[in-house]
Every structure is written in C-alpha cells, then in structure tokens.
Structure 1
C-alpha cells in the first residue's frame, strides 16, 4: 500500500529569514513602524531560540482587581504574591518556577529578577509562571512593563473577572491586536464563585462572543475561582499540556512572524501586475524622444554629407580635389569621429557640438520619463508605486551627457575610409600621371618647334598623336572616374547614414535602458522579491 506524505510547511528558521528579508527590501519604501516592527520580531525570535526551549514562560495578565495574584498563589501552592485591597498590588513581574534549572538566562532576558522555586510537580515541570502588573494600572511604568512582557512570553493567560471582562481597553489594546496569537493564549474568567451557576454560563457565553468578535475563535475559556479552587485542576491540566508539548515558544514566534508579516503586507499592498509590454512601449517612446533631443536626424544627415565630402577629397580628380579641402567636414563641425596626431590617430570621444535640445524636445523627454514611471507604477500597489516613479527619474540629470557620449562613441565608425577609396585614389594618380606625361610631351614638342629644332618621330593612335591621347584621355578618364566615384559615394553615404542611424538609436536605447528602464525593473524586481519573502513568512509551519 502506497503511503501519502503530508506536505510540510516552511521551517521557523526559513520564515524568520523571509521576514527579515522582506523588512530589508521594504526599507525606505514602507512605513518605518512596520519595518521596525518586523526587525524587532526577527531580533526577538533570534534571541528566544538561543535560550532555553525546555521551559515555557506563561504570563498571568489582567486588569486591576481581576485576581491575578490570587490565582498565581493558588497555582504555585503558596503565598508568593501579595494580595491586598489597595491597588495596584503587583508593581513588578515575578516568576514562579517548576523545575527551573537552566531558566536563569531566559529570565535575565525577560528582566524578571524576582524568582521563586515551587514544589516540584511532574505535570508542570518546565513551567515559568509570571505574575504581571495590572495592564490598566494608574502608573505608567506598570503598563509599560506589561506591554514589554506581553511581547516576549511564550503563553498568555488573560485573567478577567465578571465585572471587567468586557472592558474596551482590554479588547482594543491587547486581545484584538493579538488575534493571530490564538494558539498561545488562554482566557480565564476568575471569581466565578461570586456568581450563581446560571450567571456563570451567561458570562462565559458573552465572553466567548466578545472573543469571537476579536478574532480569537477557538481560544480556550476557563471558569476559575482562585478562592474556592474551582476550575484550578482544569487550568493546571491545560498548562501542563502546553508545557509538556514544549512548543509554545515556537508557536509564539510563529504567530509573531505572521503578525509582523501581515503588518508589512498591509503597509506594502499586494502583488504587482505584469506591465512588461506596456513598459516596453514606453521605453520605445523614450528612445524616440532621446534621439530627437540628441539631434540624431542632424547627425545622420551629417554622416551622409561627410561621407560624400571625404569621398570627393579621396577619389576626386587631383586637379580640382584640393578645392574641396577648403570646405568644412560636416562631421568635424559637430566634433564627431575626429582624430588627431596627438592621440596617435585614435578617435576622440568627448562632448560633441551637436546643437542643444530645444525646449520642446526637453519637454518630450520629460514626458517620456514620466510615462515610463507611470506605466510601471500603475501595476504596483501602495507605496511601492512612488519608489518606481522615483526610480524612473533617478538618473534624469545624467541622461543628456550619457546620450551625447553615446552619439560621439557610435559616430566613430562613420569616418572610416572604405578600401575602394584607396584603390580609386591610386588609379586617379596614375591617370593624372598619364595626363601629365602627355602634357609634358606636348610641352617638349612645342619647345622644340619654338626653337626650330628638328622634330622627332611622333607616334600616333590612328591620326591622333599619342601625347594628345595621353593628355586628353587622362583628363577625360580622371573626370569620369571622379563622377563615378561621386555616385558611389552618394550611395555609400546613404547606406552609412542608415547604418549609423540604426546604431545611434540602438546606442541611445541602451542608455535609456541602463539609466531609466533598468532602475525601474530593479524596483519592480525588489517588490516581487518582497512579495515572495512575505508570502513565505506568512505561510504557517
């Protein structure tokens, strides 16, 4: 027969680590109170786990006149606490120990100096019972002492009496906020000996109703009389069961972790929606706005014109190409793709001379940044939305310089000389040399004729002398090669401009990705990890 294994929940250690991670991720995003509360729980849980886990610390808490001290003495079997008419009687917490060996460090941490060893009882072995001051004491120090220990003890035993069991201060200040601690809580209705049997049942039913309204459904409610001993055996039995299980300390820590995680969840909202497609669209709009502000159309046009300009200088007819050198290079005018001898021919990448963005273009960039933040934040709950919007604008001041550097860096390749320019340049000089040789030959013939020297034999190509062929053919060939090179340069300039424009958009898009989209994505990822950690912390063991 195949046995089915029940799936176990996360361990207390993993939940504690998840709570601490959620508090760390929520730092600066959520309320300081919720984050501090989670850190306090994590710190307190860490200390409690290192102390004695063989002892269960139970605290008797209640209002003035509820009979806590009388019940404390009755359970201890001796007069340990002073019981009197003057209120408040208990001014500081004191502890009764059943087999308290090794409980010293635990009580030191709880700051309970008054300790009493009781008669050993097997069923209560390991119990550390605290008698707390009144939670409604007129003395502030007493109330603070109660608040401190209520957060630290393993098991809470609330002692109420028939007159004050419905006290709003008890329910609103303690019981309702501790709704998640039902597993480590008992409620004792003391002094039932003062009521008729029917009245006791009505009080218990009404107390049960109030506890259910507080979210404490299932918390045991016991009717006890410390004076007559009614219900003490049942209370001892319940305490003995809790002590023998040795789980109250871990159940208390688990409840604390759940409550702290719930507070973080309330402060941080729920899960984020998937806005990746909309963010991609806003990112493309941002890239377009940055390209316009960076003067990409102007740079692309300058790339095409600069390519043609340098092509004419490199491949034009040597007789006229020098005139082109007096015209400025469109790219050099923008300080793009420049090189100097001082840098060993390396390209200089620095601040360009591209005209600054206009007011309209700057406004478009601002709008695009805001749209990215709004789109990303629209799917994020609570205070995380503000952090996402802030992340979208965190590097707004760096964008202009980063985009300018991207333009300068990407434009470096726009000035690279194609290999065919060199070949055509060599060909042009060969043609020019041919034309020059023809001119020199004709010049020599003219000089000899002027000096009336005998003419040497003159070779011809058909009826045209070779010097004339060389001169005219060289000039015609040089002009023709220059025109064809100019056509090729025009087509090459368009291709280079398209490639440069595409590269510029990609490079500027990368800048937007790094300075805008990436911080937003990091903030969204932070929220996702916060949600995962919170879900783990809230999962019951």
Structure 2
C-alpha cells in the first residue's frame, strides 16, 4: 500500500470514529454527510482503482450532451431511443475490464464501450453524460446531485448566457468548492463570441469559480458545433486521468470539506472560578448561613444545658433545639445520611440555585457547536429539575458539630458539686433551727463561723456563686466556640455541596465538552 493510500485509510478511520462520536449529538441531517462520505469513499476504494470516472454536469441548454458527444467522438445518444434528452446517465468506457461493478455502484445502466484508448496517456477512463442539474424533473436533479458526490472528476459545463447564474453557483458549484484539483470549468458555445469576448467571458467565469472557492481552476472555452477547444478539453481530462490519483484526490477533497465545517475544540476543563461561583450560588441557595447559625445556636444551647447554672439551665430544656426544629440529626443512618425534614427551597433559593447552574452551563457551552451546546442546555434542564432534592441530600450528609465534647462533663460535675455545697449549707441551717431545745446545751458550736461568717452561709454563698460564675463563663466560651462551630458547619456544607455539584452538575456538562473534544480530534485526523 502506498503512503497516500495509508494516509487516506487513516483519515477514513478517523471519519468513522468521528461519526460514531457525533451520533448522539448530531441530527440525522448533520450526521448523514459524514456517513455518506465514509460509505462512498470506502466503496469507491474497493472498486476499480484503474478507472477514472469523469462526470459532465451542466444546466439545461448549455450544450452539455453535444459537448460530451464531441469529446467522445460520436453521438452516442443517437442510437438510444431512450435519450431524446439527457434523462438518465450514459457512460462511455475505455478499457472495459473491471468497470462493471463500479458502474453498478454508480447506478449507470446505459454503457457504451469505446474502442482503443481515450488518449495514449489517459489510462482506463469512464465519461458520464448526466441529467441537467437544473432539470424540472426532480429525479434528474437527484441523479445529478448523487453522482456529483461519487465521480472522481467534475466537469462543469455552462455557456455565455448562464455562466453567471447565481442559482447554478450557489446550489451546485459552491458545495463542491473543495474539489478544485479534480474540477474543470468549460465555457461551451464560445463560437457565439468574438475572440476578445471569449477571453473576457472565460476570465469572468474563472473569477466566479474562484469566488466559489475553486482555486487554480482551469476554464476551457469550447464549441461542440465547430469543434473549437475540444482537443484542449480532451487533453485536460487525460492529464487529470493520467496521474491515476483522481480517486484519492476526490476522496481527500471530500474529507477536507467535512473537516472544514468543524471548529477547533476548546479545552474540556473550565476555569476554577466558574466552579467556585457555582458552589457559592448553591451554598447560598441551600441556606448555608442559616444552617450554620442553627448549628451554632444548638451548640450553645446544649452546652448551657450541660454546664449552665443548674437553677436556671433547666429552663433551656423547654426550648426546641434549633436543629431539631429543622428536622436534622447529627447521627447518620445505615446509608451514611443524616435524615432531615428541611423545608422545600423557597422561590428565592430556587432562583439562586438555578442562576448558578445556568451561569455555569453558559460557560460550559462556550466554544461548542450548536449540537453540543444544545445538549448542554437539555442536560441543564434535567439538572435544575432535581437540584432541590440534591441540595437537600447534601445538607443531610453534612456533619453538624453541634454536640459539645465530653470534656465539658467535668463542668457538669463541678456544677452539681457547687449546688450540693449550697444545699449542705441550707440543710445545716435547717438542722440547727429544728433541733429540740433540750439538745442545745450539748451543741454549743453547731454553727461554727469563719472570720465572723457562719460556715453554712459560706457554703450557700460559695456554692451558688460558683455555679453562677461557671455558668456565665461557659456561656462566654459557648459564644466563642459557637463562632467556630458556625464556620466549621458552613465549610462542611460547602464541601458537601461542592461534591454534589461536581457529580450532578459539573460532570454531566464537562462530559459533553470532552465528547466534543474527542469528536474534534477525530475530525483533525480526518483533515490529515
């Protein structure tokens, strides 16, 4: 296999990958050209590589069939009762061997074998006279359009009256602009012009073809009636056929035309700032601040219940725990989730979440062709629909540090000791007050004093004061530690939301960008 064949095989293999990768994104109309070129190229390479197929295309009245007969050297249509007009393809064949299967693929039934060789250097050749591409018969236009995508060499035939027809250029010539290497332009009926007019019109026609994208195009003025330019056209056809690579060049041009339709792929990754902004919107929508505040309030309440002054701390137990009010628990269930009954996101929360997701999706769609950016739009709608539940689950998975550590139990013990001390003082006074008077002489020193203060009084004051001071101290510590609890809770929720958004928002949209990058890389392989 030659280097050119190897290169072409790699490009066709890349086209196959691109078609497979684009299947889930491209519409039938968009994927069809890729499949068609792949099928036609593979089939054409399987068939005779020796024959060069040259198609004559022209508008009604251009004299295309007369020119075809002049190039062949005989009016082949005169012997066919089916061809009063060019309504079906007709093939003139030089060196018939091996051409049958190729013509079957081209769906050309009317075949005329020509003796000898077209020219000494042309090699095996097939010339096709095709239906007019502007025919009022839809079937004729379909045949001409189909074969324009299958033949190896295209010969565009026009005349001085129609050479500038915008419809011909826009609908037929321009779609094949990438095939300049295997395209010839023919200005037929040039005998109607003077020599100066002929050069001017041929130049104008060449300029229009170049404007269509056919660079370095050659225009041959001809006249089927006088035979002028026929030898030059035969030589031009023979020159293209003699290189024996028109088939490869045609397929290569088809691949080039496909590859040009696709822009270079953007990076699959997005700026980190886009993800941070998304997570900030979602955290705000999920009520990170309020949840963090509730956790800090729950911590302070529980700490005061445990370490506060026992004479007043019992009142706190009558208040609803802030986290219980939200239906949140700190313990995980068997699935590792904190069950919650958080209220459904309010309209403002949904709006914030939706805005964050849509802004991220808009960034993700930048630089993508419509098929892929539309897919991002569709996935975004699905993401938005499930977002409230996803945020609720993220909040439910968040570890809430609302329970004071066991070290604070020591303060609880001290509070009980302080209260017990005060109660001992009270009991002492009660004992002294209610003892029978007969025992008084034996208990002169039942209430000793220290520095003039009765000991029971000191026990009462000391116990109550110690409990009160400890309660106030732990309340201050609770406020300070609560600020840290607020920050830790907010960070924990933000981590859960970041993980959720990575899985539920970022990954589905990034997958689309990566899929397009793979498609674009395959199309770069198509471009060779």
TM-score range, shorter chain: 0.7 to 0.9
1:497 aligned to which of 486, 496, 499? 486
- Contact 2:274-2:363 within 8 A present in 1 as well: no
Are residue 335 (structure 1) and residue 322 (structure 2) matched?
Answer: no
- Displacement of 1:491 in angstroms is 2.0
Give the corresponding residue for 2:384: 396
Give the corresponding residue for 1:280: 273
- Contact 1:56-1:249 within 8 A present in 2 as well: yes
- Displacement of 1:105 in angstroms is 3.3
Give the corresponding residue for 1:421: 408
After superposition, the Cα gap between the structure-2 partners of 1:360 and 1:183, relative to the gap in structure 1 and judged at 3 Å, is same
- Contact 1:303-1:496 within 8 A present in 2 as well: yes
1:251 aligned to which of 249, 252, 261? 249
Give the corresponding residue for 2:297: 305
After superposition, the Cα gap between the structure-2 partners of 1:536 and 1:456, relative to the gap in structure 1 and judged at 3 Å, is farther
Residue range with higher mean Cα deviation, 362-371 or 493-502? 362-371
Are residue 55 (structure 1) and residue 55 (structure 2) matched?
Answer: no
Structure 2 CA distance, aligned partners of 1:85 and 1:65? 20
- Contact 2:447-2:454 within 8 A present in 1 as well: yes
- Displacement of 1:512 in angstroms is 4.9
Structure 1 CA distance, aligned partners of 2:321 and 2:80? 103
- Contact 1:275-1:375 within 8 A present in 2 as well: no
1:41 aligned to which of 22, 37, 50? 37
Structure 2 CA distance, aligned partners of 1:299 and 1:164? 77
After superposition, the Cα gap between the structure-2 partners of 1:136 and 1:369, relative to the gap in structure 1 and judged at 3 Å, is closer
Structure 2 CA distance, aligned partners of 1:319 and 1:452? 35
Structure 2 CA distance, aligned partners of 1:169 and 1:413? 72
- Contact 2:302-2:403 within 8 A present in 1 as well: no
Give the corresponding residue for 2:87: 91
Structure 2 CA distance, aligned partners of 1:450 and 1:56? 139
- Displacement of 1:51 in angstroms is 3.4
TM-score, normalised relative to structure 1? 0.74
Structure 1 CA distance, aligned partners of 2:357 and 2:286? 15
SS at match of 2:401: helix
Residue range with higher mean Cα deviation, 439-448 or 73-82? 439-448
Deviations 1:309-353 (A, max 9, x none): 21123334566654443332111111122549xx58x97623433
Structure 1 CA distance, aligned partners of 2:221 and 2:411? 109
Structure 2 CA distance, aligned partners of 1:228 and 1:244? 27
2:103 aligned to which of 101, 107, 114? 107
Give the corresponding residue for 1:408: 396
Structure 2 CA distance, aligned partners of 1:320 and 1:450? 38
TM-score, normalised relative to structure 2? 0.76
After superposition, the Cα gap between the structure-2 partners of 1:195 and 1:438, relative to the gap in structure 1 and judged at 3 Å, is closer
Deviations 1:11-55 (A, max 9, x none): 445555666666677778777644433443334334333433333
After superposition, the Cα gap between the structure-2 partners of 1:468 and 1:14, relative to the gap in structure 1 and judged at 3 Å, is farther
Which residues of structure 2 form unaligned runs of 5+? none
Q: How does 1:455-534 map to 2 (within 5 A)?
A: 477-512=466-501, 515-516=504-505, 521=510
Count matched residues: 520
After superposition, the Cα gap between the structure-2 partners of 1:451 and 1:24, relative to the gap in structure 1 and judged at 3 Å, is farther
Give the corresponding residue for 2:184: 186
- Displacement of 1:296 in angstroms is 2.9
Structure 1 CA distance, aligned partners of 2:58 and 2:173? 11
